[in-house]
Amino acid sequence: DVKVTQSSRYLVKRTGEKVFLECVQDMDHENMFWYRQDPGLGLRLIYFSYDVKMKEKGDIPEGYSVSREKKERFSLILESASTNQTSMYLCASKTGPNTEAFFGQGTRLTVV
């Protein structure tokens, strides 16, 4: 089975801190995604990557950056955490363009 693992289930960080969310997949997928999920807004795409060292902005990239140095790992970075970044963050991976995505269990981040 495909496994997508996010490094933390719950995180509490202070305003202004630099925050790293890590995601690792074990199925050699080319494509990886970071979303945030908020009630009433569904999932919104922050960044995605279709290859190592490649990244593309999604709908809401402001305040975030990403890193993909290895194929299996896709990191989301909050440069300076703010309270409006309190959310559930979901990582996903997939192979080709019309295939289903496999999701991690999510990281619930609270910024205080």
The nearer residue to other proteins, 18 or 64, going by C-beta atoms, is 64
Query: For tokens 């995180």, what's the residue?
Result: 11
- Integer distance in angstroms from the first to the last C-alpha of the chain? 37
41 binds other proteins (CB under 8 A): yes
14 binds other proteins (CB under 8 A): no
108 binds other proteins (CB under 8 A): yes
C-alpha 69/C-alpha 6 separation (Å) is 16
Candidates 11, 13, 58, 63: give the one binding other proteins (CB under 8 A).
58
Q: CA 70, 30, 39 angle in degrees (round to 5)?
A: 95
Candidates 7, 30, 43, 67: give the one binding other proteins (CB under 8 A).
43
C-alpha 87/C-alpha 80 separation (Å) is 15
Residues that bind other proteins (CB under 8 A): 4, 9, 31, 33, 35, 40-45, 48, 58, 90, 92, 94, 97-98, 100-106, 108
